[in-house]
Structure 1
Amino acid sequence: MTLSHSARTRWVIALLMLFTAINFADKSIIGLVAAPMMADLGLTVTEYGAISSAFYLLFSISAVVFGFLGNRVPGRWLLVGLAVVWSVAQLPVAIPAAGFGVLLATRILLGAGEGPGVPLGMHVAFTWVAEHKRAFTAALLTVGSGLGVIVGAPLLNALIEVAGWRSPFLVLGVTGLIWVVAWLLIGGDGPYSVASPAADAAVAAEPRIPYRRLLTTGTWLGTLFSGFAVYWGLVLGISYLPLYLTEVAGYSRSSIGFLASLPAYVSIVFMLGGGALAGRLLRRGTSRRLAQGVLGGVFALVSGLSMILLTRVDGGATMLILPLIALGFGIGNAQTPLSQAAVADTVPARQRGAALGVWYAVVSIASIIAPVLSGAIVDAAGDRATGFGIVFDLAGVLAVLGGLVAMVTVRPDRDAARLGLGGAETSRAAAGRA
């Protein structure tokens, strides 16, 4: 059966959403298994933080390397390679004898495979859609991260209770291999790809701009800082929120799967709503500064304020705590697709993979620092409640600053004009539709 272009586009975007969902399920599993794993292996919070941070040891380097490869190698095969690495990295943890060393090594390998996943997935997705659809398409893919938590957290948590903390690693490894088969059957690069014959002339007409100029625009630097701040909070939600909810907030183990997925619900709503609103604003002629920079900055600002308030609410005030958890660790992620679309709008198509890869690599450095630093803060604080209060305050302040910076500095229209990219995207889009 031969799919029409529109049908195949929908299938490809759906598979890329699933790709992102598996990516985030792989990341989030470490938080869900934290308590039973620490008890079984006798780990301190600092040691657990080291395992969480190990995931990001090669994450950034890999994102940069594959970002530049994405300028030259078809995304179809790069994504296959990454998904295979994810799957192979998860399987050894399921072995009963696997201890701290195996966990450390496999998390490093997993991070090396997943580091380029999101930016490369975005890069491939952008080859299937026109410019004005990028924000919503990026939102759809980022929704995959929320689905990975919403669907994965309760199921994996139930699996942990039934079959032990090692069992989810086996399930996720097999799921990744199934995705590879589906992608080989349907996936690939779209008509807006730089490798598309129809787009060759338009892409060739674009200037090749030195990376020192591309990576020093206000838009790139502004989204970089705000993205770093948002990612700091995101990794805390993945690594420490389940632990905080059980050991400080006093929630039962059986409720953690649902509570840990609350931010994902908020994330999906605001990612879809934010992406749709940004697309509508752009179609009406609104500046990208408002549609991407200011709107994304508001999401980060609300996230930061919610994290700051979280530990100041009475533990018994569930009706206040739950919205703060959901907003604090969920709404900030809605800024990410707007930031990625803003970066994509200020670079030539043939340099987009590298620009997104470098951006994601620097942003994800937050994921290396946050778990280890947070674990050390909690251990040094004397009691968990005080420690987590400091940890969430730090994350909240970073997010607030990130939101304010984005509102002021993210100006894709101005930066694209300064780089001489005005009108290039329109020509390329026309060639892609030809």
Structure 2
Amino acid sequence: MAEEQNVADDLKRQAAMFYNSTARQDAPAQPPTLCFWRKRRLVVALLAFFGFFNVYALRVNLSVAVVAMTEPVETVLENGTVVFKPEFEWSSQTKGLVLSSFFYGYICTQLLGGWLAAKIGGNRVFAIGIGMTSLLTLFTPPLAHTSTALLVAVRVLEGLFEGVTYPCIHAVWAQWAPSNERARLATFAFSGSYAGTVVSMPVCSLLAHYTGWPGIFYVFGLLGLIWTTVWWLVVKESPEKDPLITPAELKYIQESRGSHSLETSKVRHPWRRMLASGPVWAIVAAHFAENWGFYTLLTFLPTFMKDVFKFETSQTGWLAAVPYLAMAIVLQVAGHLADWLLSNGKLSRTNIRKLFNCGAFLAQTVFMVSAAYATSVVGCVACLTIAVGLGGFAWAGFAVNHLDIAPPHAGVLMGLSNTVATLPGIISPPLAGSIVTENTAEQWRAVFFITSAIYLIGAVIYGVFCSAEKQPWVVEIKSEPSFDTDATSVTTTQDRTNFAYTNKAMDSNSEM
């Protein structure tokens, strides 16, 4: 039986080789084009950018809304008396619970998201996560009016669905990103998070001012559902399953990402060896440190501006958005710079990751301390803008490191690191709420000191244990050439030439 199977396999390979050789002769050269949508990996990156835009718009909306929900407003009592009272009379601790409740759900589905992405496809899990979060956002205002407990419950559910987004996008990049474009594609997509923060904070302030705080949730919930529909229809699980990809681009991606098979149902994860790996825990520590600073400011920056510098609700959103605008811009620079250094051989991949990550953390430590002692709003915002913005270089370090050390397992590794990195979202708001009880600058200073210390510890751990080389425990499933006409694959005559493009001379006439 074994001999017959070997003969059958040989015949199958010969048939595939014969088919490819004949298809190559008939494959037409394609003219070059500047249309970015013809480069399907760029389409995936652009839609992923807007996906993360929605992820953070849906997450940050409550940070601005809670200021409007708890500030005194003019209220007419039944006897005609006019008083000023908040719509929701929450203590500092209650506000901390409401703001952190999202993360109780978010932390539970990180590993599940990576595992599901390896089984059913990262593109599908990404869409489901954002789509369900958007739908639940629409129910937030009526539930908040009903009871605080229901508001907390719906935020936990939103966190459960949004928790899958970061792990499964790495499963998407394991399929779509050429190895020398990982940093730029991943950081471009991740920068959508900060663009979403930049836009949603001031827009939320305007919506709260002109439509009332419920309008915040209705607008961004509907935008999220629109994006979900577009992503579901356009983005495929892998380039092999995209009927619109050009043969040259498919060949370029396949050759660049390596020989490992990307058939998701066959991926097996070496859990024990992954959990014993120093480079894995270096990523985890860096992710935790970066998220501590990010979540602290994301959650409390509008409140900080109101407490210390006495800004109105409509102004806090604009000022709080400035640091994240810097982050969105720096991410683009950092991703391209990291890939340029790598392609030009200026530094090794490991040294690039260390330089970008540790350098950013050390600078963030300095500027967070400086912000704590700033005596003017201009100085404080400038220090926070530099501190948050430099985090873009850190994301070009640890955030793509999963793809460096273990491409087939990048989704679950991101799930692992983001699980630990979600703890700041749970710990930081209540901790800050317990420290800042009298809304003084001295109390807020303690919050910044804690953040600086965590950045410094993260820099040390990552600098010692980081590696960007593929680890020996990586499990790769080799795929052999096959004569496959499965309808789920790329099966048109033009698409079959994807497997026929082996003539280097033809690449100059085709788009990559």
Report the TM-score when normalising by structure 1: 0.88
Q: Name the amino acid aligned to 2:106.
A: F
Q: Secondary structure, in 3 states, of the residue corresponding to 2:87?
A: helix
Cα pair 2:96 2:430 within 8 Å, conserved: yes
Match of 2:460 in 1: 404
Match of 2:291 in 1: 231
Cα pair 1:67 1:116 within 8 Å, conserved: yes
Alpha-carbon distance between aligned partners in 1 of 2:333 and 2:475, rounded to the nearest angstrom: 28
Q: How does 1:417-432 map to 2 (within 5 A)?
A: 417-419=471-473
Of 349, 364, 389, the match for 1:288: 349
Match of 2:169 in 1: 121
Match of 2:76 in 1: none
Of 280, 293, 309, the match for 1:220: 280
Q: Does 1:355 align with 2:387?
A: no
Change (3 A) 1:172 1:204: closer
Change (3 A) 1:227 1:277: same
Match of 1:427 in 2: none
Q: Does 1:265 align with 2:297?
A: no
Cα pair 1:69 1:354 within 8 Å, conserved: no
Cα pair 1:236 1:370 within 8 Å, conserved: yes
Q: How does 1:107-118 map to 2 (within 5 A)?
A: 107-118=155-166
Of 418, 430, 434, the match for 1:376: 434
Alpha-carbon distance between aligned partners in 2 of 1:420 and 1:145, rounded to the nearest angstrom: 30
Match of 2:204 in 1: 156
Of 55, 72, 76, the match for 1:23: 55
CA deviations 1:400-428 (Å, max 9, x no partner) are 22123222321222xx2544789x9xxxx
CA deviations 1:242-298 (Å, max 9, x no partner) are 000011122333321221111112112221111111101111232122211221111
Match of 1:365 in 2: 423
Match of 2:18 in 1: none
Change (3 A) 1:201 1:31: closer
Match of 1:305 in 2: 366
CA deviations 1:362-406 (Å, max 9, x no partner) are 211221111111111212xx4432221111110111112212322
Range moving further from structure 2, 123-132 or 209-218: 209-218
Cα pair 1:56 1:111 within 8 Å, conserved: yes
Alpha-carbon distance between aligned partners in 2 of 1:171 and 1:306, rounded to the nearest angstrom: 35
Alpha-carbon distance between aligned partners in 1 of 2:443 and 2:102, rounded to the nearest angstrom: 23
Cα pair 1:232 1:366 within 8 Å, conserved: yes
Match of 2:28 in 1: none
CA deviations 1:54-113 (Å, max 9, x no partner) are 101121221111111111112232122112211122112232734312220111011111
Shift of 1:134: 0.6
Q: Secondary structure, in 3 states, of the residue corresponding to 1:229?
A: helix
Alpha-carbon distance between aligned partners in 2 of 1:43 and 1:300, rounded to the nearest angstrom: 35
Q: How does 1:2-13 map to 2 (within 5 A)?
A: 6-13=38-45
Q: Name the amino acid aligned to 2:363.
A: V
| Structure with greater Cα Rg | 2
Q: Does 1:278 align with 2:335?
A: no
Specify every segment of 5 or more residues in structure 1 that has no aligned partner in the other structure, as ranges: 425-429
Q: How does 1:159-174 map to 2 (within 5 A)?
A: 159-174=207-222
Q: Secondary structure, in 3 states, of the residue corresponding to 1:54?
A: helix
Q: Name the amino acid aligned to 1:412.
A: A
Match of 1:203 in 2: 260
Q: Secondary structure, in 3 states, of the residue corresponding to 2:118?
A: coil
Cα pair 2:96 2:433 within 8 Å, conserved: yes
Q: Name the amino acid aligned to 1:45.
A: S
Alpha-carbon distance between aligned partners in 2 of 1:432 and 1:258, rounded to the nearest angstrom: 53
Q: Secondary structure, in 3 states, of the residue corresponding to 1:239?
A: helix
Change (3 A) 1:405 1:98: same
Of 140, 163, 181, the match for 1:93: 140
Change (3 A) 1:132 1:215: farther
Specify every segment of 5 or more residues in structure 2 that has no aligned partner in the other structure, as ranges: 1-34, 71-85, 242-249, 479-497, 503-512
Identity among equivalent pairs (%): 22
Q: Secondary structure, in 3 states, of the residue corresponding to 2:395?
A: helix
Q: Name the amino acid aligned to 1:59.
A: Y
Alpha-carbon distance between aligned partners in 1 of 2:228 and 2:267, rounded to the nearest angstrom: 35
Range moving further from structure 2, 206-215 or 242-251: 206-215
Cα pair 1:82 1:113 within 8 Å, conserved: yes
Q: Name the amino acid aligned to 2:220.
A: L
Change (3 A) 1:61 1:432: farther
Shift of 1:52: 1.4
Shift of 1:204: 4.8
Q: Secondary structure, in 3 states, of the residue corresponding to 1:412?
A: coil
Q: Secondary structure, in 3 states, of the residue corresponding to 2:191?
A: helix
Q: Name the amino acid aligned to 1:321.
A: C
Cα pair 2:353 2:398 within 8 Å, conserved: yes
Q: Secondary structure, in 3 states, of the residue corresponding to 1:172?
A: helix
Alpha-carbon distance between aligned partners in 1 of 2:177 and 2:68, rounded to the nearest angstrom: 44
Q: Name the amino acid aligned to 2:440.
A: R
Range moving further from structure 2, 137-146 or 201-210: 201-210
Q: Secondary structure, in 3 states, of the residue corresponding to 1:71?
A: helix
Q: Name the amino acid aligned to 2:130.
A: A
Q: Secondary structure, in 3 states, of the residue corresponding to 2:218?
A: helix
Q: Secondary structure, in 3 states, of the residue corresponding to 2:406?
A: coil
CA deviations 1:8-62 (Å, max 9, x no partner) are 3222211111110110111111211222222321011111111111101121221
Alpha-carbon distance between aligned partners in 2 of 1:278 and 1:327, rounded to the nearest angstrom: 19
Match of 1:51 in 2: 98
Q: Does 1:36 align with 2:68?
A: yes
Range moving further from structure 2, 13-22 or 352-361: 352-361
Alpha-carbon distance between aligned partners in 1 of 2:191 and 2:270, rounded to the nearest angstrom: 33
Shift of 1:334: 3.9
CA deviations 1:205-254 (Å, max 9, x no partner) are 99966222223323211121121011011111111010000111223333
Change (3 A) 1:273 1:421: farther
